[in-house]
Structure 1
Amino acid sequence: MFSIEQVKVFVASAELGSFSAAARSVGKSHSSISMAITSLEDELGVELFDRSTKMPTLTEDGERFYEQSLLLLRQIERMHASAQSSLNNVEKKLRIGLGEMVPFALIESLLEKTADSYPHTKLGVYRGEYPWLIEQLQQGELDIVIAANAETAPIAIDFYAILEIEFVCVCSPDSPLADMPIVENEVLLATRQLACVNMLNNPVLKAYASVSPEIWEMTDQDDMIKLVEQGVGWAAVPKVIAEERLALGTLKIFKPEFSHTKQTILIDMLVSSSHQQGPVQQFLMKELKSLNE
């Protein structure tokens, strides 16, 4: 059976274009490289290199074996990295609870950064209402919870204010509201409003989310925004989401008469004070805290 060392020598020879160059790269003699390749060919029963030319070139069988060798070496690297992660007590999985009013855009780049830094840790993101998220955190089913305006944290739960997000009023670009410099209160009262149930239940956003006497309640923010884009009504949404849709041309931000100041809400991070934090959780918590800097 051929060895991993032979495979590495073969790949080096194929990529560098000669046995002598491969010998220099791995710190061995030209003859030992040639013998390793010949032994590998004997083991496989095929010629990997055409030696009739000045510089050895891969045969058709050699091309196939080269592609397979790259896959094998990458798999071995992953196995070594996974084993090293276990030695360093890196979590196999990190579970993140996300409140219904928290825009996914808030953590999207942080999850990508975490995946790059800890590629062998599986990340799970779970949406839910605040009471359910806290229950899951207390039971150890979640490692980090990110929620809007968390209530007083229960015993054994630590929380950190990580970011303040602004809410704005939006409508369809085809809505009459879109062309008004300032939308008067009478106009809004006469126009259907869409609102997420969690906003209506939030003491900070309740007044902002219930202006019109005709309100369609939604449990999902994305579903609500889709209806706004279709011109069904207007709504208050996180500015970060509104700006994404504004760039796509599907939403228009308007200024309401009733609001003279920015309407904001705090986003908090909650973790169990009794749960031991591994390297991945510590990394993500540090990144989340830096959002407020």
Structure 2
Amino acid sequence: MNIERLSLDQLRVFVQVADSGSFLAAARKLARAQSAVSYAIATLEDQLGVLLFDRSGYRPQLTRPGMALLADARQVLDHVDSLQVRANSYARGQELEMSLAVDVFFPTDCLVDLLRRFRDTFPAVTVRLEVEALGAVAERVIDGRSMLGILGTLPTTPPNLLRITLPSVQLVAVVAPGHPLAQVKGRVTEKMLRQQTQLVLSDRSELTARQDFSVHSRLTWRMSDLGTKHALLRAGMGWGNMPLHVVKDDLAAGRLISISTVHHSPQGEELPIQCVYKPDHPAGPALSWWLDSLAGLKSLEPLAEVQPVP
């Protein structure tokens, strides 16, 4: 076996013969003489040391090793084709990867819609997505790990970043129906808030470490995952602020109740959302697409329903 001498052309001929069902049909598809196709397959078999086709019948049939190696050949060709597409894109100035840091409060449906449209526009560009809270989003943009960030839970924007204002997210303070604060008639006082456990997102960045935002209780439980916070709220483990789009079904079903405090109204409050990026980062086609698409958002509802895969 001398696999080092294999050529991509031999693999393409191999796949074409398997797909076409005969050497003659493959030759027609490839616009070559049948003898050239037969020679390419024979040479490939000699280099691999296995018989790929059984030629004893009217039409060549894949052998057991041939069927196994056909999948490998397809995979090699897929990788090579992807390499070629990405190299051509890069030669035209297009980024090979788009790195994003997104706040946990940004609506998932809107993010999915943006990512789907980005994939349709830039199929050769890979995406690296990190979902963070507080200063971790801005920190990743500042240190270059992310080309673009979407801030929400960080109340201030670092001065060394450019920003685009996006539609806001509505926040509500919520508790489970059995929680002590749910029994309060009217506005919850500051003293009552301080006496109850507040569920708070933790900050995994050095940018705003040891800083508290919208923390009103002397007893806090901190977590980095919004889904965990949501589950703990529903379990009655404390009170906390949540994006309305995350808890609206719970509020409608009575699994959670919005509370009124000196800091919150039952209808909630608007949380500003911003897109941030470094002024010295070169904006190729992919990054420019994101900046234009985010700047054009009129709401954070998805622009189109995602069609299910049949």
TM-score, structure 1 as length reference: 0.74
2:58 to 44, 54, 57: 54
Check whether the contact 1:93–1:121 (CA below 8 A) recurs between aligned residues: yes
State the alpha-carbon separation in 1 of the partners of residues 131 and 188 from structure 2: 40
Residue of structure 2 equivalent to 1:275 = 281
Alignment of 1:246-265 (within 5 A): 246=250, 252-256=255-259, 259=265, 261-265=267-271
Residue of structure 1 equivalent to 2:235 = 230
User: Structure 1 residues 176 and 127, CA, compared in 2 at 3 Å: closer, same or farther?
Assistant: closer
State the alpha-carbon separation in 2 of the partners of residues 36 and 139 from structure 1: 52
1:65 to 57, 64, 69: 69
Does residue 266 (structure 1) correspond to residue 272 (structure 2)? The answer is yes
1:125 maps to a residue whose letter is: E
1:143 to 139, 143, 147: 147
State the alpha-carbon separation in 1 of the partners of residues 260 and 140 from structure 2: 41
More helix per residue: 1
Check whether the contact 2:234–2:256 (CA below 8 A) recurs between aligned residues: no
User: Structure 1 residues 7 and 171, CA, compared in 2 at 3 Å: closer, same or farther?
Assistant: same
Residue of structure 2 equivalent to 1:241 = 246
Q: Post-superposition shift, 1:176? A: 7.8
Q: Post-superposition shift, 1:197? A: 6.6
Give the gaps of 5 or more residues in structure 2: 204-210, 300-310
Q: Post-superposition shift, 1:243? A: 4.5
State the alpha-carbon separation in 2 of the partners of residues 140 and 273 from structure 1: 12
Check whether the contact 1:100–1:198 (CA below 8 A) recurs between aligned residues: no
1:233 maps to a residue whose letter is: G
Residue of structure 2 equivalent to 1:154 = 159
State the alpha-carbon separation in 2 of the partners of residues 154 and 232 from structure 1: 37
User: Structure 1 residues 21 and 237, CA, compared in 2 at 3 Å: closer, same or farther?
Assistant: same
State the alpha-carbon separation in 2 of the partners of residues 197 and 70 from structure 1: 46
Alignment of 1:160-239 (within 5 A): 160-172=164-176, 184-185=186-187, 189=192, 192-196=196-200, 201-202=212-213, 206=214, 210=216, 216=220, 218=222, 220=224, 222=226, 223-239=228-244
Check whether the contact 2:176–2:257 (CA below 8 A) recurs between aligned residues: no
2:85 to 66, 81, 86: 81
Give the gaps of 5 or more residues in structure 1: none
Check whether the contact 2:177–2:257 (CA below 8 A) recurs between aligned residues: no
User: Structure 1 residues 286 and 128, CA, compared in 2 at 3 Å: closer, same or farther?
Assistant: same
Q: Post-superposition shift, 1:231? A: 1.7
Deviation digits for residues 89-136 of structure 1 (CA, Å, limit 9, x no counterpart):
333444434446546665355446546635454525263544x65566
**2:169 is paired with a residue of what secondary structure?**
strand
Q: Post-superposition shift, 1:59? A: 0.9
Alignment of 1:34-45 (within 5 A): 34-45=38-49
User: Structure 1 residues 177 and 108, CA, compared in 2 at 3 Å: closer, same or farther?
Assistant: farther
